[in-house]
């Protein structure tokens, strides 16, 4: 069984829990005393990941770290439909890769602001917030044009991909870092679409949405 | 002398509210303070710093330019040291002149108690909003569903609010909880007692699956960075032989992380003390008493004072 | 020329297309935060973005299609009125009608939602956009003051459409205080875009462009992209030249929410609302259905179980339950059964009241409130008694709370409101054509296993209510778990006695003589008593009793309430002895 080294309030860990839940893959959680215990920085945990980061998965002895890399692995291995990581469609795959890199940016700005506010990480809050707003403007415009083309998700096509998963947590929890989404109406609609996906699970800090009309 | 300086400095850059200034505040958990290295923060808008001395004793001082964050500290070179207490696992300090020491939590003297800082979280809210949320029962089925409450069992039956030696107590507070504590295995009607011994500290006493008589004690100690931003310390004093520190923290932090976006979406961030400013019901007796108590104390920091006072 | 006060105008706050189902749009206008949402009946609500209970922004609330649900304590606010419909901490209380979120104007024009503080103002009409289809282009929030954006737009001759060819003549003209029109003429064609500027606050605005004409599908996307790129360029310019936020032109006072008449004090039996019969139809054998729309303004909100007094053209006053579920807020929907022995009430409704007629109503009263915190809710309806239970069932269904609606009727043809029953199918059980004994047997089966946190609601003919209460009591249902509402008081009233009443607060002493009701005596003495049914059914005319034996003749109280002897329905009940003392 997959073992996920996890911290409840980590957005990057949540991305794994969300995809595993949507794909309905059973897994075992190993809770790391991330804060204030800093267990992931300790010698024991560095035997598992020398970088001292979570999430890490151990899939029957195969160990992988880096949140977005794990999403790629899980989707390739556990999504029989092949839609979450569309390897058979070069154009869509390219888009997914591009937006996954974009998600590194939202992690390093929006989620970094959250770590600073919540846990006191030594980041420049204003710089993180300004960076997140720059990226959110791009993403909001992108999603608005997707809607104009009758599409709902970050990458083109009819179904969501791991790019949506990689971006969702950073966006949905941005207000934890003092980043308002007032100016991003398309982004707000997209987060609700993600929340209505079958198998969606939330993490503390995400407000529930009403069900879609029958 | 240093305290007087602190007050002056506080009056210059912080609040002109003697009620808020003359209090002890928990700044950080003792075992999370680096030894001999400066950590900078603010208290009531006043820049201050802290560390532990090489003998382990906590130090706090009004921030000075010569000691940037991370700088090594020599206690003898501090221009304006602040008084400190080391109680209940936290470093407490003040930029004013508190009347005496800290309120008592007798349970902390019991040898089998687990005393733990379950976590410290920054929140964009005022201290009084954070405390009021801690005292609130009606939100449990909505904000903590499946844990501290469960829909549709949302009724708040009548309970009693009492004043005992200038503290507020709310007793016989009953709520159905599916998983009241990390050690719970099934749902139960839980009886809470709330206690407010300090404008920005509140305690909650609740039954525990591990003891028929004694109660778990959970506290919220608020460190007001300014009047719209706080650091909330989750104090635990538990009878729990089952869970690891990590499990206890996961439980408490998960609860706080559910409250945080509520607090950050309350407008205004400051707590309105005017009874007409928001619409209380019978279920809000404790918060009504807390608002009135703050008003009677003359607290003006982190609140919207009553218009007629 | 002085510029008009922005607070006296309507401004765009969202695009109509932004209001997708079950969503709440976050907006800001002249410093006022707004929650904008479309209900399932297509009504667009523009509300202050703040729960009145504890100040939580309603833009984080859930839009369930009929109500916004605050995530903090689950307070529910109704479509249209903004009234609080339910406070979960107090499941048996009807929220006072004064608990209401401030609501603002909401108008649709040119594909935009318009709002503001003025009760009279209308969205602008521009010749550039009249008489043709329009295309809403991508709106752009700008971190620059509205004035700067307007000035920037005047100096920014952006081509409305991509590559129209050389020699286009472009003009930018002010089109009212908060709009700039761009017109491009090439040869014989002319393209026009109007940029509306939404003043967010002193330092920010949203530029909302609307284009004239609906381009062909293959050009549409390239126009949208072209325009978005141009506007993005303008935004970069504006934001780099914007200094620190400046004061927006007015308004000197905060935006004014719409004023609504607050609930008038319930007094006497005077009508409080004027309605028009918008629709009347035969919903079942002998049952007429009515939809009553307000002549002006909006209808007061109410909770499931409520009824209104209808003042009939023939002078009679009758109570009818509201069948509305949550979401139906534009009309009151009633069902009226033609009683063979009608004293003129149901006959008048069936025969003399027609579509288009006006009627006077009381505000809704609720003496049959529904708790929504039960583990099991059983609704038992006999015939026309289904009406209040329909409101309850729809409410429970929408909140996804489990319930059973047992509907006893003579036949399929006697089932009222089939279109409402249809979507309730999961909770609905029909019992058709049963004799009284068979009915009692069914009720025994339904109620045989009482569990804690169960509640039973019964409404129908008097004997059926009596039977249900007795059967439930035998099966162990506590009295306070059995809720009932009679349609009429079928017991014979005795008013031959004479007694003395002392009013503790005023010190007055009155004598109630034979043939005179306590209620009338109190009114004669100047006490302003509310009332509704005046036959001991509805509970509106209740008074608190401090001393004295009582002769209860109502069908409102249950046995332990009667035994307690601390309340009296003044319309029918009397003193048991010579004297009672009331807390009046």
- The enclosing domain of A181 has a CATH number of 1.20.1050.10
Please tell me whether residues B82 and B124 are part of one structural domain: no
* B101, part of any domain: no
Please tell me whether residues A133 and A186 are part of one structural domain: yes
Question: How many structural domains comprise chain C?
Answer: 5
* C545, part of any domain: yes
Please tell me whether residues A43 and A115 are part of one structural domain: no
What pLDDT was estimated at residue B5? 33
Between B154 and C490, where is the model more confident? Answer: B154
Please tell me whether residues C286 and C241 are part of one structural domain: no
Strand partners, C464: none
Please tell me whether residues B76 and B223 are part of one structural domain: no
* A204, part of any domain: no
DSSP A58-127: EETTEEEESHHHHHHHHHHHH-TT--SS-TT-HHHHHHHHHHHHHHHHHIIIIIHHHHHHHH--S--HHH
Residues in chain A within 8 Å Cβ distance of B32: 36
Please tell me whether residues C140 and C243 are part of one structural domain: yes
Please tell me whether residues B43 and B7 are part of one structural domain: yes
Please tell me whether residues C470 and C507 are part of one structural domain: no
Please tell me whether residues A68 and A109 are part of one structural domain: no
List, as ranges, residues 148-207 from A with C-beta within 8 Å of B: 175-176, 178, 203-207
Please tell me whether residues A30 and A105 are part of one structural domain: no
pLDDT higher than threshold 90 for residue C188 = no
* Residue given tokens 């990581």 in the structure block: A85
* Residue given tokens 């909302």 in the structure block: C208
**pLDDT tens digits for A140-177?**
999 999 999 999 999 999 999 999 999 999 999 999 99
* A107, part of any domain: yes
Please tell me whether residues C114 and C141 are part of one structural domain: no
Between B89 and C167, where is the model more confident? Answer: B89
A162 contacts A75 by C-beta, under 8 angstroms: yes
What pLDDT was estimated at residue B194? 98
- Per the prediction, chain B carries an average pLDDT of 90
What pLDDT was estimated at residue C166? 60
Question: How many structural domains comprise chain A?
Answer: 2
Among A8, A32, A207, the residue with its CB nearest the CB of B254 is: A8
Please tell me whether residues B133 and B246 are part of one structural domain: yes
**pLDDT tens digits for C365-408?**
888 989 999 989 999 999 999 999 999 999 999 888 999 999 99
Residue B103, classified by CB atoms within 10 Å of its CB into exposed (0-12), middle (13-18) or buried (19+), is: middle
Please tell me whether residues C117 and C134 are part of one structural domain: no
* C263, part of any domain: no
What pLDDT was estimated at residue C167? 67
Please tell me whether residues B174 and B271 are part of one structural domain: yes
Question: Which has the minimum average pLDDT: A54-63, A92-101, B134-143, C166-175?
Answer: C166-175
Please tell me whether residues A134 and A108 are part of one structural domain: yes
Please tell me whether residues B292 and B258 are part of one structural domain: yes
Please tell me whether residues A72 and A94 are part of one structural domain: no
Please tell me whether residues B63 and B166 are part of one structural domain: no
What pLDDT was estimated at residue B165? 87
Element (H, E) at C273: strand C273-284
- The enclosing domain of C39 has a CATH number of 2.102.10.10
* A209, part of any domain: no
Closest CA to B152 of C301, C377, A203, C64: C377
Contacts of B100 (CB under 8 A, 6+ apart): none
Cis upstream peptide for A36 (omega within 30°):
yes
- Full-model pTM: 0.89
State the residue range of the domain holding B244.
106-304
List, as ranges, residues 441-460 from C with C-beta within 8 Å of B: 453
pLDDT higher than threshold 50 for residue B7 = no
What pLDDT was estimated at residue C165? 57
3-state helix, strand, coil in chain C (%, to 5): 20, 30, 50
**pLDDT tens digits for B198-255?**
999 999 999 888 898 999 999 999 999 999 999 999 999 999 999 988 889 999 999 9
Which range of A208-212, B98-102, B221-225, C475-479 scores highest in mean pLDDT? It is B221-225
State the best of C33, C50, C53, C55 to mutate against chain B, taking most chain B CBs within 10 Å. Answer: C55
**pLDDT tens digits for A55-95?**
999 999 999 999 999 999 999 999 999 999 999 999 999 99
Structure confidence at residue C161 as a pLDDT band (50, 70, 90): confident
Tell me whether A212 touches chain C (CB under 8 Å).
yes
As given in the structure block, the two tokens for residue A92 are 């869509």
As given in the structure block, the two tokens for residue C158 are 């952006």
Between A17 and C314, where is the model more confident? Answer: A17
**pLDDT tens digits for C209-249?**
999 988 888 889 999 999 999 999 999 999 988 665 554 45
C370 half-sphere exposure, CB direction, 13 A CA radius:
30
**pLDDT tens digits for C29-77?**
999 999 999 999 999 999 999 999 999 999 999 999 999 999 999 999 9
Tell me whether A213 touches chain C (CB under 8 Å).
yes
Please tell me whether residues A28 and A49 are part of one structural domain: yes
Structure confidence at residue C159 as a pLDDT band (50, 70, 90): confident
What pLDDT was estimated at residue C336? 95
pLDDT higher than threshold 70 for residue C5 = yes
Please tell me whether residues A110 and A174 are part of one structural domain: yes
Element (H, E) at A194: helix A185-195
Question: How many structural domains comprise chain B?
Answer: 2
* C264, part of any domain: no
Domain limit, last residue, from C94, C123, C152: C123
Interface size, chain A vs chain C, as Cβ–Cβ contacts under 8 Å: 52
Please tell me whether residues A148 and A170 are part of one structural domain: yes
Question: Which has the minimum average pLDDT: A93-97, A129-133, C21-25, C368-372?
Answer: C368-372
Please tell me whether residues C564 and C459 are part of one structural domain: no
* B62, part of any domain: yes
Please tell me whether residues C223 and C204 are part of one structural domain: yes
How far apart, in whole angstroms, are the C-alpha atoms of residue C65 and residue C409? 32
How far apart, in whole angstroms, are the C-alpha atoms of residue A21 and residue A6? 14
* B98, part of any domain: no
State the residue range of the domain holding C117.
1-123
Please tell me whether residues C282 and C302 are part of one structural domain: yes
- The enclosing domain of B159 has a CATH number of 3.90.380.10
Please tell me whether residues C241 and C132 are part of one structural domain: yes
- The enclosing domain of C567 has a CATH number of 3.10.20.30
State the residue range of the domain holding A147.
90-195
B interface residues, C as partner, C-beta within 8 Å: 137-139, 141-143, 151-156, 261-262, 265-268, 272, 278-283
Whether A207 sits inside 8 A of C60 (CB atoms) is: yes
pLDDT higher than threshold 90 for residue C152 = yes
- Per the prediction, chain A carries an average pLDDT of 96
Mean per-residue pLDDT, A192-199: 97
* A201, part of any domain: no
Domain limit, last residue, from A78, A103, A128: A78
Between C106 and B1, where is the model more confident? Answer: C106
- Per the prediction, chain C carries an average pLDDT of 90
* B309, part of any domain: no
Among B29, B255, B261, the residue with its CB nearest the CB of A207 is: B261
* B256, part of any domain: yes
* C572, part of any domain: yes
* B32, part of any domain: yes
C60 contacts C71 by C-beta, under 8 angstroms: yes
What pLDDT was estimated at residue C129? 92
* B214, part of any domain: yes
Please tell me whether residues B33 and B144 are part of one structural domain: no
Between B7 and A204, where is the model more confident? Answer: A204
Domain limit, last residue, from B93, B114, B132: B93
* B99, part of any domain: no
Please tell me whether residues C137 and C241 are part of one structural domain: yes
* C258, part of any domain: no
C517 contacts C535 by C-beta, under 8 angstroms: no
Please tell me whether residues A74 and A94 are part of one structural domain: no
- For residue A199, give how far its alpha carbon lies from the nearest alpha carbon of chain C (Å): 19
- Count the residues in chain B: 309
* A84, part of any domain: no
Interface size, chain B vs chain C, as Cβ–Cβ contacts under 8 Å: 74
What pLDDT was estimated at residue A157? 95
* C455, part of any domain: yes
pLDDT higher than threshold 90 for residue C533 = no
Which other chains touch chain A, taking contact as 3+ CB pairs less than 8 Å apart?
A: B, C
Structure confidence at residue C491 as a pLDDT band (50, 70, 90): confident
Mean per-residue pLDDT, C197-202: 93
Cis upstream peptide for C251 (omega within 30°):
yes
pLDDT higher than threshold 50 for residue B2 = no
- The enclosing domain of A45 has a CATH number of 3.40.30.10
pLDDT higher than threshold 50 for residue B4 = no
C24 contacts C35 by C-beta, under 8 angstroms: yes
What pLDDT was estimated at residue C164? 54
Please tell me whether residues B161 and B290 are part of one structural domain: yes
pLDDT higher than threshold 90 for residue C344 = no
* A59, part of any domain: yes
Please tell me whether residues C2 and C118 are part of one structural domain: yes
Mean per-residue pLDDT, C350-368: 91
Please tell me whether residues A128 and A169 are part of one structural domain: yes
Chain C residue at shortest CA distance from A189:
C23
Please tell me whether residues B293 and B175 are part of one structural domain: yes
Please tell me whether residues B217 and B115 are part of one structural domain: yes
- For residue B121, give how far its alpha carbon lies from the nearest alpha carbon of chain A (Å): 5
Question: Which has the minimum average pLDDT: B170-174, C150-154, C264-268, C379-383?
Answer: C264-268
C534 half-sphere exposure, CB direction, 13 A CA radius:
14
Domain limit, last residue, from B71, B93, B115: B93
Please tell me whether residues B79 and B172 are part of one structural domain: no
* A74, part of any domain: yes
* C40, part of any domain: yes
Whether C221 sits inside 8 A of A210 (CB atoms) is: no
Among B119, B244, B261, the residue with its CB nearest the CB of A36 is: B119
* C350, part of any domain: yes
Please tell me whether residues C533 and C573 are part of one structural domain: yes
Cα B202 from chain centre: 6
Chain B residue at shortest CA distance from C452:
B153
Percent of chain A at pLDDT > 70 equals: 100
* A13, part of any domain: yes
Chain B residue at shortest CA distance from C95:
B281
Domain limit, last residue, from B34, B59, B93: B93
Please tell me whether residues A110 and A130 are part of one structural domain: yes
């Amino acid at each position: 069984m997959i073992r996920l080294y996890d911290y409840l309030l980590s957005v990057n860990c949540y991305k794994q829990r969300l995809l595993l839940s949507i794909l309905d893959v059973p897994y075992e959680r190993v809770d790391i005393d991330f804060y204030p215990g800093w267990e992931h920085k300790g010698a024991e945990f560095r035997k598992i990941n020398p970088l001292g980061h979570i999430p890490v998965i151990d899939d029957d002895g195969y160990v992988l770290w880096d949140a977005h890399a794990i999403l790629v692995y899980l989707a390739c291995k556990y999504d029989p439909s092949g839609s979450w990581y569309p390897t058979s469609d070069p154009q869509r795959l390219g888009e997914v890769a591009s937006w996954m890199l974009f998600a590194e940016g939202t992690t390093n700005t929006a989620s970094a602001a959250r770590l600073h506010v919540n846990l006191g990480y030594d980041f420049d809050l204003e710089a993180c917030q300004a960076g997140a707003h720059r990226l959110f403007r791009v993403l909001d415009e992108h999603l608005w044009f997707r809607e104009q083309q009758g599409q709902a998700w970050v990458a083109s096509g009819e179904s969501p991909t791991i790019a949506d998963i990689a971006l969702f947590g950073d966006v949905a929890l941005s207000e934890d870092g003092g980043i308002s989404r007032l100016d991003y109406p398309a982004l707000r609609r997209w987060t609700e679409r993600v929340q209505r996906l079958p198998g969606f699970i939330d993490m503390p800090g995400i407000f529930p949405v009403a069900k879609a009309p029958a | 002398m240093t305290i007087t300086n602190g007050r002056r400095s506080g009056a210059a850059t912080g609040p002109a509210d003697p009620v808020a200034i003359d209090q002890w505040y928990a700044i950080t958990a003792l075992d999370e303070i680096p030894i001999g290295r400066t950590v900078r923060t603010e208290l009531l808008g006043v820049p201050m710093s802290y560390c532990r001395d090489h003998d382990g004793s906590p130090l706090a001082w009004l921030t000075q330019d010569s000691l940037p964050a991370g700088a090594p500290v020599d206690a003898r070179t501090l221009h304006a040291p602040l008084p400190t207490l080391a109680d209940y696992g936290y470093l407490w300090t003040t930029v004013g002149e508190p009347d005496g020491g800290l309120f008592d939590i007798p349970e902390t003297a019991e040898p089998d108690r687990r005393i733990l800082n379950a976590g410290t979280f920054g929140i964009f809210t005022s201290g009084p909003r954070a405390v009021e949320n801690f005292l609130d029962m009606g939100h449990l089925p909505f904000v903590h569903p499946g844990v501290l409450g469960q829909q549709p069992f949302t009724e708040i039956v009548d309970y009693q609010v009492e004043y005992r030696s200038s503290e507020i107590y709310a007793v016989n507070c009953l709520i159905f909880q599916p998983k009241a504590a990390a050690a719970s295995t099934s749902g139960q009607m839980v009886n809470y007692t709330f206690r407010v011994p300090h404008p920005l500290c509140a305690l909650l006493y609740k039954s525990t699956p591990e003891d028929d008589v004694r109660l778990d004690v959970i506290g919220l100690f608020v460190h007001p960075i300014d009047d719209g931003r706080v650091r909330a310390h989750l104090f635990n004093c538990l009878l729990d032989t089952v869970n690891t520190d990590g499990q206890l923290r996961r439980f408490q932090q998960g609860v706080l992380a559910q409250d945080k976006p509520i607090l950050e979406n309350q407008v205004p961030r400051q707590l309105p003390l005017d009874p007409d400013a928001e619409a209380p019901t019978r279920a809000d007796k404790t918060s009504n008493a807390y608002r009135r108590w703050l008003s009677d104390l003359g607290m003006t920091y982190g609140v919207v004072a009553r218009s007629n006072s | 020329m002085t510029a008009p006060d922005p607070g006296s105008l309507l401004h765009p706050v969202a695009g109509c297309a932004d209001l997708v189902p079950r969503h709440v749009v976050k907006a800001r206008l002249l410093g006022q935060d707004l929650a904008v949402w479309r209900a399932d009946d297509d009504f667009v609500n523009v509300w202050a973005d703040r729960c009145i209970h504890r100040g939580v922004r309603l833009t984080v609330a859930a839009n369930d299609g009929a109500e916004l649900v605050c995530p903090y304590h689950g307070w529910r606010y109704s479509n249209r009125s903004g009234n609080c419909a339910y406070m979960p901490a107090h499941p048996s209380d009807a929220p006072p009608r004064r608990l209401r979120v401030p609501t603002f104007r909401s108008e649709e024009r040119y594909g935009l939602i318009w709002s503001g503080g003025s009760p009279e103002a209308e969205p602008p009409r521009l010749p550039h956009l009249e008489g043709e289809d329009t295309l809403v282009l991508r709106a752009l929030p700008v971190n620059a003051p509205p004035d700067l954006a307007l000035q920037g737009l005047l100096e920014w001759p952006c081509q409305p459409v991509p590559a129209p060819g050389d020699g286009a003549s472009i003009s930018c003209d002010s089109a009212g205080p908060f709009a700039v029109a761009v017109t491009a003429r090439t040869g014989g064609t002319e393209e026009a875009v109007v940029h509306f500027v939404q003043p967010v606050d002193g330092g920010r605005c949203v530029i909302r462009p609307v284009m004239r004409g609906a381009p062909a599908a293959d050009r549409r996307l390239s126009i949208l992209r072209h325009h978005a790129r141009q506007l993005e360029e303008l935004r970069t310019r504006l934001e780099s030249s914007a200094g620190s936020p400046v004061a927006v032109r007015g308004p000197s006072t905060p935006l004014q929410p719409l004023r609504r008449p607050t609930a008038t004090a319930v007094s006497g039996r005077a009508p409080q609302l004027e309605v028009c019969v918008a629709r009347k139809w035969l919903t079942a054998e002998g049952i007429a259905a009515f939809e009553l729309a307000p002549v002006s303004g909006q209808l007061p909100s109410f909770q499931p179980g409520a009824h209104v007094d209808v003042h009939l053209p023939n002078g009679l006053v009758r109570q009818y339950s509201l069948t509305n579920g949550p979401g139906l807020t534009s009309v009151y929907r009633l069902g009226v059964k033609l009683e063979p022995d009608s004293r003129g009430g149901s006959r008048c409704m069936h025969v003399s009241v027609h579509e288009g007629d006006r009627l006077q109503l009381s505000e809704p009263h609720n003496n049959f409130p529904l708790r929504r915190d039960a583990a099991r809710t059983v609704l038992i309806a006999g015939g026309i008694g289904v009406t209040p239970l329909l409101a309850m069932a729809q409410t429970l269904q929408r909140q996804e709370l489990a319930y059973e609606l047992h509907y006893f009727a003579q036949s399929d043809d006697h089932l009222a409101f089939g279109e409402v029953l249809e979507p309730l199918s999961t909770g609905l059980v029909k019992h058709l054509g049963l004799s009284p004994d068979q009915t009692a047997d069914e009720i025994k089966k339904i109620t045989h296993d009482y569990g804690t946190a169960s509640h039973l609601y019964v409404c129908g003919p008097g004997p059926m209510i009596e039977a249900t209460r007795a059967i439930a009591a035998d099966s162990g249902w506590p009295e306070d778990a059995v809720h009932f509402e009679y349609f009429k008081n079928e017991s014979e009233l005795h008013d031959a006695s004479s007694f003395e009443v002392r009013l503790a607060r005023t010190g007055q002493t009155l004598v109630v003589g034979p043939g005179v009701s306590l209620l009338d005596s109190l009114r004669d003495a100047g006490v302003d008593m509310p009332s509704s049914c005046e036959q001991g059914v509805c509970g509106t005319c209740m008074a608190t009793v401090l001393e004295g034996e009582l002769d209860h003749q109502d069908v409102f109280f249950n046995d332990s309430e009667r035994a307690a002897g601390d309340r009296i329905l003044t319309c029918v009940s009397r003193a048991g002895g010579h004297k009672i003392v009331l807390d009046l």
